[in-house]
Amino acid sequence: MSFYLKQIQLINFRCYQNRTFKFAPGKNLIVGTNAVGKTSLMEGIYCLGFAKTFRNVKDVDLINKGNSFYNLKGEFFNNGEIDKVISSYNQENKRIIKNNQIYKTISDYLGYFNIICFDPDDLELVKGGPSVRRKFLDVNIGQINHKYLNALIKLKKILKERNEYLKSVDINNFDKVLLDILTTSLVKEAEIIISERKRFINELNTYLNPILNQISSQRENVEIVYKPNCNVDKLWKTSQEKVTQDIIMQTTTWGPNRDEVLILVNGEIAANYCSQGQIRSTCLTIKLGLVEMIKKITDRIIVILDDVFSELDCHRQNEIVKMLDNNIQTFITTTSIQSLNNNIISESNVVEIERGNDDERI
């Protein structure tokens, strides 16, 4: 394996004051009873890639109680070399250091390695609102496409400035020249975001049905449908038609920040049509499609399966693991090895977590 996480040290992070875990290439089973810190460990690994967790929490809430900072120190095997990464946060700043290089911005670091995370909240990808699916696009396109990431950062900044200006004026008293300057900048970045979202979704769709048919006993068709709020070729025209509405509403009422992304199963909106089991299979399919897609771009991939297998039968567990070949380092959390398929156990390295024990076993 050309890339994998060898070890991580968690200092003042979540339930850990100072713990070090060592891992092996391929599949790692993280075993422990509830509330011993399995998910916290997965969050720590995720933070080494994104400088934030996959859960919807503030950075300050990741700090171990009674402390003012956290440090995460990771050692990665990378094509025969060892890369050392530090992800740290205190209440004044957040920073990433790789091999003693301090990154000026987190976005400059993103893409060093890619993480695909499966967790129980994935069901919200189907059941949640449009903002959940837009965030899914932003995270996963952004980690493989710096053009998109930079456009997204700029768009959010411009959108904030434009909305603040809209709140300060009324329809009879505004500076059209200034508003047009902000709008021109917004349109430029919006064009990139819409085009890249469309390209990404079109490619991801090509992987989905073969995967779904492999992990599900039912023959179904899944599709992600992108519905941009504006036609990419008519962004400027739309912006001018919406000026009055924007001023009255005191916000920007058009653009990729209002795009819809639909997930369809057999041509129907999955959230309205599917059972809980079908929704779970659909979400797993989309994440596995991401893995297949990113594998064609880079070999620096880590996959996290946090408390996912407990909801799956042995057939689906086995099919999922077969897709995650041994060239990808994978972390699977579970409360009991007995709940897992024997093939998974035999192919995996086991890391047992016991509360208060700093010497984790592989």
C-beta separation of 18 from 11 below 8 A: yes
Domain covering 122-297: architecture: Up-down Bundle (1.20)
pLDDT tens digits, one per residue of 330-346: 999 999 888 788 888 88
Q: 1-113+298-362 and 122-297 share one CATH topology?
A: no
Domain ranges of the chain: 1-113+298-362, 122-297
Written as tens digits, the pLDDT of the chain (362 aa) is 899 999 999 999 999 999 999 999 999 999 999 999 999 999 999 999 999 999 989 999 999 999 999 999 999 999 999 999 999 999 889 999 999 999 999 999 999 999 999 998 999 999 999 999 999 999 999 999 999 999 999 999 999 999 999 999 999 999 999 999 999 999 999 999 999 999 999 999 999 999 999 988 778 999 999 999 999 999 999 999 999 999 999 999 999 999 999 999 999 999 999 999 899 999 999 999 999 999 999 999 999 999 888 778 888 888 888 888 778 999 999 998 887 888 888 889 999 998 765 444 33
Which 8-state DSSP code applies to residue 289?
H
Q: Which residues, at least 6 apart from 61, have a Cβ–Cβ distance to it below 8 Å?
A: none
For tokens 């025969």, name the residue: 80
Nearest to 16 by CA among 58, 55, 71, 54: 71
What is 1-113+298-362's CATH number? 3.40.50.300
**Where is 88: in which H helix or E strand?**
strand 81-90
pLDDT tens digits, one per residue of 249-278: 999 999 999 999 999 999 999 999 999 989
Residue-wise DSSP of 170-214: BTTB--HHHHHHHHHHHHHHHHHHHHHHHHHHHHHHHHHHHHHHH
Does pTM top 0.75 for this prediction? yes
Distance CA 270, CA 205 (A): 15
